[in-house]
Chains A and B, each alone.
Chain A
């Protein structure tokens, strides 16, 4: 149907750009900024986060008629926590090395304000399928930002992408170690936000 496909598209676009949680509200950067020093870590984190967001949104939406309003925050937190446990155990079992790299940050997906916000703002009052889509879109939009931060950080900090040295680039580039250290994350995110807001301002003025 044309009507539903259009709304689905709108949901996806909102999550990816118009309502992008990081550009618009600077939410949920806490638990994930720390893993942006390497593209591989970031990718794994992004996949986990997107899966957890989509699954929790779906579950919250499915249970929305049976959840008493006054304890809904607790219920949502428990749903999110259960999915995080699943992801954590899967990582530990099949990719222990990555699990060690990410450390406690997988567990910290629970307190990521974006998931909570989407469950509260969208999934709690919408049907399951749009909720799943919304969760997916928000997770992807968030992942996009994280990758935009991670790629320059790894490239400038070590001259590699996904651990592989970039041809020619490594020969002329002196690695900026600061980029893979914590301050680099702050500076890169600030620049990304500057760019995004600058573009937005220009679009609005014309």
Chain B
């Protein structure tokens, strides 16, 4: 595949990761923070930003580790452990760097970083990257797009939930119930995008 072709594929994958294959609304990844953190737009934005950054970097790092190390050594089954360790180490590293050089950013983003290690969306993105056999450049597009898609979904949800405070929801549906119904409606809306790429 030539470079321009690959670039094109990367862009298409990135776009579809944001809209048609949204990691949260169609692949159900990262639901836990989605139902618990999506109460305020500001926090959602902070967490979402951290996810975009960490996901882009870890997918690329994991691609390198998988193709340059595990495939060479014939140890593909070891990827679960390796990916988890790389993600945890990367998050720890970023936390230390931010803490050292930008205390203000650390205050805004720092509390979200430990949460991210256990976010299934991060590991999920890397596992999908392996299963779909993406090249390095396409993986970059996929990681970034998946992160942005997650950010978009949690941001929209936070906005809706802030409005929801004033409405009367049946007792049993309050909290997670209504969140899931909204997520379902959002998923319906995102299905509408599926025709865009043909």
Contacts and interface: CB of A to CB of B under 8 A. Distances in A.
A184 B191 CA distance: 12
Given A77-B84, A85-B78, A197-B172, A189 B180 contact: yes
A26 interface: yes
Contacts of A27: 32
Given A26-B35, A30-B30, A111-B118, A104 B124 contact: yes
A181 B180 CA distance: 15
Interface residues of B, number: 42
Interface size range of chain A in the complex: 35 or more
Contacts of A34: 27-28
A13 interface: no
Q: Is the interface of A mostly helix, strand, loop or mixed?
A: helix
B127 interface: yes
11 contacts: A27-B32, A30-B124, A31-B28, A34-B28, A81-B80, A183-B185, A187-B181, A189-B180, A190-B177, A193-B180, A197-B177
Given A30-B28, A190-B177, 19 more contacts: A27-B32, A30-B120, A34-B28, A81-B80, A82-B81, A84-B80, A85-B77, A85-B80, A103-B128, A103-B131, A104-B130, A110-B123, A112-B120, A182-B191, A185-B28, A186-B180, A190-B176, A201-B171, A201-B172
